[in-house]
Amino acid sequence: MRHYVGGAFDASGDPFPLVDPVHGRTVGEVPSAPAALVDRAVRAAREALRGPWGSWSPADRARMLHRVADGIERRSREFVAAECADTGKPRELASTVDVPRAVANFRAYADLLAGRAERSWHTATRDGRGALNYTVRKPLGVVAVISPWNLPLLLLTWKVAPALAVGNTVVAKPSELTPGTACLLAEVMADCGLPAGVFNLVHGPGPGAAGQWLTEHPEVDAIAFTGESGTGSTIMRAAAARLAPVSFELGGKNAGLVFADADLDRAVAGTVRSAFTHSGQVCLCTERLYVERPVFDAFAGRLADAARRLDGYGPMISAAHRDKVLGHLTGAAADGKVLAGGGVPVFGDDRDGGFFVEPTVLSGLPEDHPAVREEIFGPVVHLAPFDTEEEALALANAGPYGLAATVWTGDLARAHRVAPALDVGIAWVNTWNLRDLRTPFGGVKASGIGREGGEHSLDFFSEPMNVCVKL
């Protein structure tokens, strides 16, 4: 595990332990970047802007992004192994979602860049000769990219690819819990011939360490962050001191609505995915589910049975996070009903030293209960009944978050009526986590600022300039 600064690998800094969440064992060490190294990474990125990278055409940059994608594909087995080792997620998930999506991120932005056009206007003037106005997109400069532990490679590349596409340089800091795939990505960047300093990587925690030093650095021109809402507030305060733009994808307490006319087989299967994928450690996962009363009991029973039958799920990322989730479950068990799960599974092998929590279905809690209001970020979903469409919308829209929602219904008119009325950045109807990389992605309220995806990412990472030519 090494930093990558100015085109060279570096292992300086005090080490911190890397823990395998499946077995709870320390399996290695990661160097924590000292302040001087973070400063050197930012300065290397600044220098690269003034070097050859600054003269590369969009076509040159698009070809480089495709080379990076090729490099990830060639080493896909290593990326899958690193993703599973760091997060404990099932190999099937890493091999069919995380690593292919990283490849797709680079290819999608390369293709978008190649086909992008600027705008122009002919402007009338008093002398009749007119003027030509046109736009030019310029990179923001040095961009800090801070990515989380739940989808380390997917969300890192989701920001790095568009930032590089429009000509920025990057200093990336992955979560200290999941550094492996970021290290491999740095090796791919080096092997592809990306100019020194264009992509830099530093490791370490946030407060009082690499994360804080990077976001507070006066030479960082913009910050892209995915993570917890409170951390986003801290980063925003740091960026405000120099008016640096920010792009945030933050927390969520996502709601789902199941109407009585829904296909219950499809709704149950979809909710198993939306509640328990990666053991609920996905920002888009459903933690609150509101079910129309005539089908509530049937749906709750079937979902609980499905949760009890689940196997092959992964652990929580750390002992601390497991204990946080279990703390919520203890309070929920005292105040409501546990329909399935609610504890720690016993495997009878070395996984019993890991950080697992059973897939859990709750019900009977009031809406102001912490397990219903606060983001748990684990394999936990709470069910509650509703009687009217208006009540369902009021329940779903309550609370400080607004990232994603699901709607399960057989009524097409209702689908088109309810989905746009949800206070979220994305609403799925009769599906979950079906993504088109060209569409806007992000949240409202405490769930984020700005949008990622397609042109929206390219717009954030570049600044439009108007050129006016008198004819």
Q: At what angle do helices 58-74 and 180-192 cross, to 10 degrees?
A: 130
Cβ proximity of 440 and 453 under 8 Å: yes
Closest CA to 149 of 245, 30, 270, 246: 30
| Distance between first and last Cα of the chain | 58
Annotated catalytic sites, by residue? 249, 283
Q: Which long-range contacts (CB under 8 A, 24 or more apart) does 386-394 make?
A: 386/257, 386/290, 386/291, 386/292, 386/293, 387/292, 387/293, 389/259, 389/414, 389/417, 389/418, 392/257, 392/259, 392/290, 392/292, 392/418, 393/418, 393/421, 393/422
Rounded to a whole number of angstroms, the CA Rg of the chain reads: 23
Print burial letters for 65-99: b (CB count within 10 Å at least 16), e (below 16): bbbbbebbbebbebbbbbbbbbbbbbeebbbebbb
The single-letter DSSP state of residue 317 is S
